[in-house]
Amino acid sequence: MNMFSEGRLKADNWNFEITINTSETDFLSSEIENEIHVLVSNGIYRSYYTDPFDVNGKSFIFKVYFENGDLTSLSLAPANKPISWDNIEEKELVQDKIENDKWLMSQYSIIAPAKYIWGTLESIMDKKTGSSDIVLQFNK
C-alpha cells in the first residue's frame, strides 16, 4: 500500500499527514501554519492553498477544502509556474496532466481515476482554475 491508496498525504519534509480525519483546526495549527493561505472563506465552506512543497520529489501547491471544518477534498497542483489566470495555455495544462499521470504511475502504480474505501483519486485538467491537479475526494 502507498499513501495515496491509503487516503493520506504528506510532503517530503512534513512530520504530519493529511487524512480523511484531518480537521480544519488541525490543518491550520500544523507545522506549516505560516505557509497556508486562504483561498475561499464562504460560510461553512473554507479552502486554503499552501506554498509549494515536494511530494516524492515533485513540487506541488496543496489546495485543501473543508465544509463545516471537515476535510472534503485535497488537490495537488504542479508548482512549475506562477499561478496566474493571465497565462493559461491549454497545451501546458495537457502537459501538466500527462506529467501528473506519469508521476502517479511511476511513484505509486496508480492509474487515475481510482476508487478507494476512503474516496476517489483523479487526475484532472481544469481550465477554470488554470491547473491540472491530482484530486483526492473524501467520502463523508
Backbone angles phi, psi at 20, to 5 degrees: -55, -25
- Residue 83 has what pLDDT? 56
pLDDT digit string, tens, across residues 98-112: 999 999 999 999 999
- Cβ partners under 8 Å of residue 127, min gap 6: 88, 90, 93
pLDDT tier at 92, thresholds 50, 70, 90: confident
Q: How far, in Å, CA of 77 to CA of 133, rounded?
A: 5
Mean pLDDT of 63-78: 96
State pLDDT tens for residues 13-41.
999 999 999 999 999 999 999 999 999 99
Between CA 69 and CA 52 the distance in angstroms is 23
**Exposure string for 5-15, b = 16+ CB within 10 A, e = fewer:** eebbbebeeee
The helix or strand, by DSSP H or E, that contains position 95, with its residue range, turns out to be helix 90-108
pTM of the model: 0.91
pLDDT tens digits for range 43-65: 999 999 999 999 999 999 999 99
The burial of 118, by beta-carbon neighbours within 10 Å (0-12 exposed, 13-18 middle, 19 or more buried), is given as middle
Is 79 or 128 the better-scoring residue by pLDDT? 79
Copy the grid coordinates of residue 62: 496543496
pLDDT at 78 over 70: yes
**Which of these, 81, 106, 107, lies nearest to 92 by C-alpha position?**
81
Q: What are the extents of the domains in the chain? A: 8-138
